[in-house]
């Protein structure tokens, strides 16, 4: 049973491999995202803007891709995401997923 749990944990980690470049994502985020989500994605300009720092890489890639395609409806985000390439999306996801949201207690 323990081996199965370890194997499943390793598979889960393998599924979150990042293709993006966090440093490139940092530069891209500073140009557009920081105005609403803060420079590290954890200090939104307004409470309705989500905290991006610490979100899962795969979630961020999916959300930005869905905004770009129109599958996820938000006119503001669709406008921003429309010009993003696949690499831009991966870079932004790598940057924000690597940041600490500051919401979880330190142990």
Helix H or strand E encompassing 66: helix 57-69
Q: What does the pLDDT look like over 10-66, one tens digit per residue?
A: 555 444 457 899 999 999 999 999 999 998 999 888 989 999 999 999 999 999 999
CA–CA separation, 4 and 70 (whole Å): 39
CA–CA separation, 107 and 101 (whole Å): 15
Q: For residues 78, 84, 85 and 90, what is the CA-based torsion angle, rounded to 10 degrees? A: -90
* Res. 106: pLDDT tops 50: no
Which pLDDT value is given to residue 55?
A: 97
Which of these, 42, 24, 16, 34, lies nearest to 91 by C-alpha position? Answer: 24
The CATH class of the 19-97 domain is: mainly alpha
Which pLDDT value is given to residue 105?
A: 46
HSE-CB at 92 with a 13 A cutoff on CA atoms is: 26
Burial class (CB in 10 A: 0-12, 13-18, 19+), 9: exposed
CA–CA separation, 53 and 51 (whole Å): 6
Q: What residues does each domain of the chain span?
A: 19-97
pTM for the model: 0.78
């Amino acid at each position: 049973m323990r081996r199965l749990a370890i194997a499943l944990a390793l598979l889960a980690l393998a599924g979150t491999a990042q293709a993006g470049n966090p440093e490139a994502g940092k530069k891209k985020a500073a140009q557009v995202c920081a105005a609403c989500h803060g420079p590290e994605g954890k200090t939104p300009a307004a409470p309705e803007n989500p905290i991006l720092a610490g979100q899962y890489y795969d979630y961020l890639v999916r959300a930005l891709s869905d905004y770009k395609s129109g599958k996820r409806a938000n006119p503001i985000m669709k406008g921003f995401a429309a010009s993003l390439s696949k690499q831009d999306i991966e870079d932004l996801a790598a940057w924000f997923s690597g940041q600490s949201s500051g919401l979880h207690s330190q142990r």
